[in-house]
Amino acid sequence: MITGSLVALITPMTLDGNIDKQKLDELVEYHIAAGTHGIVAVGTTGESATLTYDEHANVIRQVVEKVNGRVPVIAGTGANSTHEAIDLTQRAKEAGADACLLVVPYYNRPTQEGMFQHFKAIAEAVDIPQILYNVPGRTVADMSNETALRLASISNIVGIKDATGDLERGKQLIESSPEGFAVYSGDDPTAVGLMLLGGKGNISVTANVAPTQVAKAAELAIAGDAEQAHKVDSGISALHSALFVEPNPIPVKWAAAQLGFCELSIRLPLTELSSQYHDAVNEALIASGIKDN
């Protein structure tokens, strides 16, 4: 089972908008050295919505090759077309990904039965561990716990990223899940709380700029050390808020650029962080001990 801090990795780009392969390799090495337990390539934070189909597959392949088995790689392969999601998932498997992360179909707003059939079809088509991803704030469609548990009975559907931020709902899902089915947080502010309830990890935006702290908080929370987990997490709580002052990944890419991890480049329709938020994000980096001034 994949556990711990799983960074929702940004996709670094050059100033002309192309994928920066050198910086991508450097980010992988940085996270492994910092103690990140796994890497999620081309999720929402990786700008999956604006990468071309080939770029999407190539980033996954590059991350897998650079990681070279040192930590698990989870490939974002979700789509609102079942056919496209199957194809991306197959390409991720061929690239050597350890698992795939599949978001609830967005825009077309499927019913609960539609969601079930969508994920069932992908699982049956591609034999690779698959993690569901429920983020109703982005997709509008909200997968119910009941639907998630129906899907948990399929052998290669091994977990869910719960980005609802609803701890009571997460607790109910954890308590009802079969053995071997992992519930991961997709919400940094409540991640420690969910892991203390039995969640197996945190698919984290904050880990892009605070990997050591997020990894330590995850280790402590999964071990059940509530006091120390909350203590570590409180040290980066300002980041959990500041990195969402505008839609993700706008703030985290700006923060990463300030730290020299990438160029200040993001693809339309997303734009660079508005100047009115620069101080807030910079102050959160300083308060978290990541940046001097």
**203 labeled binding residue:** yes
Digit-coded pLDDT (tens) for 136-185: 999 999 999 999 999 999 999 999 999 999 999 999 999 999 999 999 99
- What pLDDT does 291 receive? 87
Collapsing DSSP to helix, strand or coil, 36 comes out as: coil
- pLDDT number for residue 86: 98
- Known catalytic residues are 133, 161
Q: Which residues of 149-162 are buried (b: 16+ CB within 10 A; e: fewer)?
A: bbbbebeebbbbbb
Residue 63 carries which side chain, given as an amino acid letter? V
Structure confidence at residue 292 as a pLDDT band (50, 70, 90):
confident
> What pLDDT shows up at residue 272?
97
Can you list the domains of the chain with their CATH numbers?
Answer: 4-233 (3.20.20.70)
Q: What are the pLDDT digits (tens) for 203-249?
A: 999 999 999 999 999 999 999 999 999 999 999 999 999 999 999 99
Nearest residue to 74 via CA among 22, 9, 151, 153: 9
| Residues 277 and 243 sit within 8 Å (Cβ to Cβ) | no
Q: Do the annotations mark residue 50 as ligand-binding?
A: no
DSSP H/E element including 8: strand 4-8
- pLDDT tens across 68-123, in order? 999 999 999 999 999 999 999 999 999 999 999 999 999 999 999 999 999 999 99
Kindly report, residue by residue over 193-215, the tens digit of the pLDDT: 999 999 999 999 999 999 999 99
Predicted confidence (pLDDT) at residue 293 exceeds the cutoff of 80: no
Residues 257-286: what's their mean pLDDT?
97
Whether pLDDT at 7 is above 90: yes
